[in-house]
Structure 1
Amino acid sequence: MFTQVLFGSGGLVLGALITFAVMARKNADLGTRLELAEERHNQEQDYLKRVERQFEAAFHNLAQGILDDKTQAMINHNSKQMQNLLDPLREHIKDFQSKVEITHKESMNKISSLEQISISMSTEAQRLSSALKGDVKKQGEWGKIVLDRVLESSGLRKGLEFMHKETDGKQGHVIIILPENRHLIIDSSVSVLAYDQFLDSSTPEEQKQAEQTLVQNFRNHIDTLGAVRQHEKLDNESADFILMFIPVEPAYMLALQTDPELFQYAWQRKVIPITATTLMATLWIIANIWQQARQTANALEIAEKGGALYDQFVGFVSSLREVGHHLKLSQGAYNSALNRLKTGPGNLINRAEDLRSLGVGATKSLDPRLIFEAEQEEQTIQRHEE
């Protein structure tokens, strides 16, 4: 009996030992499997983090690349627009500088030739006057010829800066056109026949008579021109005086010696006696006034275009700043929309993935990085709520 009890107890102990050994082995297997599962879980977490960083870097590079491309394209476009604006202004300035240099060169040439032209014209006038003795009509025609030569030598252009005014089908006054539509009148019909008589005089009495006749002829012509100035219908833009051109300068000098009050007499009647020398200087000044007027017009045009360019440049800068402002707003709106997709409880990305998990038919899948970020955001919110 005792033996049976002993064997029975030993069997129980042996069975317990065997059962313990089996359970210990199973526990060891379960521990190993648990360690492997934890290791695999850690590896998956590391993998997901690497994928997240890669996607984040790729997305950032893509967005930065797009922004850089757009910015560079805008810079190139704006640079081209600025070039198109500045090139015409640069050409106008270059053309203006060239005109100024040409004008200066022409002015120097005119100054150097002024004295020679005046001497030559006076000499020719005196010679021809001697050849035309006794013919007042021919002397008048010669005065007009000398006047035309002086006008042509001055640089003024016929039909543009001066023109002839005909009276009764005959050439009358010469009209000098000034800037701003102003006019200057020149007469060349004064008689110098008495000067030829003075040169041919053989006695002091004859010379004195010729001198008196010359002065009287000048005074009579001054009176005639004064009446023309007062009664002839000239437009309101004409100057308030008439130039009386004397083609033979020594004749005028002789008249002044004989009658020192002659110039004052003419001045009181708004008539100014001039010779080839003084007329050439006057016309040269007028030609320079025209050149300065044209230069001023060019400068005003450049200033006007420069002002328009500056206004356009200000508008361009304003538009560029507005583009930058809208780019910032677009970037902010994009970030806000993206955050709404992946943040907050029940965000759209997680809800869409839940639908896909329930078997919704779909041929495309979301970016894993976005799914991971959405899950992380939801888990963070849940932890805060707990």
Structure 2
Amino acid sequence: MPRNGSGIYGPPAGTAAVPNTTIESADYNAVVADLSQALTDSVNVLGTAPFLANQPMGGNKLTGLGAGAAAADSPNLGQVQSEIVAHAIAVSGTADAITATFSPAFVAYTAKMRFRFTAGAPNTTTAPTINIDGLGAKIIKKLNGAAVAIGDIAGSGHVCDCVYNGTDIILLNFAPVAVDREQTFIAKQTYSKPLITTMTTLADAATIAWDMNAASNDVRIVLTASRNLGLPTNMNTGQKGLLVVQQDGTGGWGLNLNAIFRALSHFDIEKAPHAKTAFAYQVVEDHTATKVILLECMWSEGRSSIGFYREFNLGSYAPSTSLQTQHNLGRQPSLVHLALHCTTADCGYSSGNRVWNVASESAAGVGAWADSNTAGVCINRIVITHKASFESFFVTVGRWNVILRVYE
């Protein structure tokens, strides 16, 4: 053999030349044959023949290595560092049916194969697909095989890092949760800071539209005329928030509700200029699985939050007089209640005290009345019980104001 086990070449035994001695043809031919075999077994720098066995490098390195271009080529270190061989050279198709081309092309889907592509648009479905080099479309999913959310592929310029798990394409770097993306939580969430929501003002129209997906949970209506609140779109069972109805600078406007709204108490809004009425709402389903929106009045400007009343100070008491005020409910109130507010000490009462259930000189109750717009009181001479002696006394004129509470 021309080389020993360590790869060192040695001439055949007995072929060494002797001075002044004729070279035997057999010895000469043996050396030539041995050299020919050794050269044949050496590295062919022109690359006209392949290696026939693995080549140990003995700790040395190949230098000046060109960039691999075919599937069977070796990459150079620059290619390995940049992983350019795993990045698609072309991406086409649609946002939810992506096609990607690689160079060199993948010959088959293989479990754990990894690649990248640069997206051209955000996904709009939860089951987008990608077709690699015409090998067939595969669904793109997240870790553990979970469906992607809309927008997990963020859009143009998003470099998507993927791995094939043997069934689906797993997107390793789905887009961070954006503030404008819908999220569904299936477990309890704990937040260490307040959650602040915005309020959306619904566009003014004869019939006001309310897209419950597009608006925030809290919405405002500013009335510039009497309006209708139409059937909301995209109602989500369980959604809740505030509905604030506000008058413009003129005031006096009404709001008619679509039949989908179910007021837990009589629906009424404050009608004074710029006045606001706040309702809590929640979307629920009735016994037929039909969505309805429950409304409950929480606060109305100028009225107490307890019992939903509005209080009017009708002025100083005077005998044989009638006092009245506009209550602006637009309907008969459920109750009108009269009180006296002490402004100067009288009959054992101190300034700031109030007396309820007062009577007239004839011992009958003082007459309070109301219609759909106005409430008032007819007063003769008012009799009250002394705070300390329990005797009956006429109140002193000029020391008491007449207070009227109008309840919804």
TM-score (norm 2): 0.18
Larger RCO: 1 or 2 (CA < 8 Å, sep 6+): 1
TM-score (norm 1): 0.19
Q: Which of the pair is proportionally richer in strand? A: 2
Q: Which of the pair is proportionally richer in helix? A: 1
Larger Rg: 1
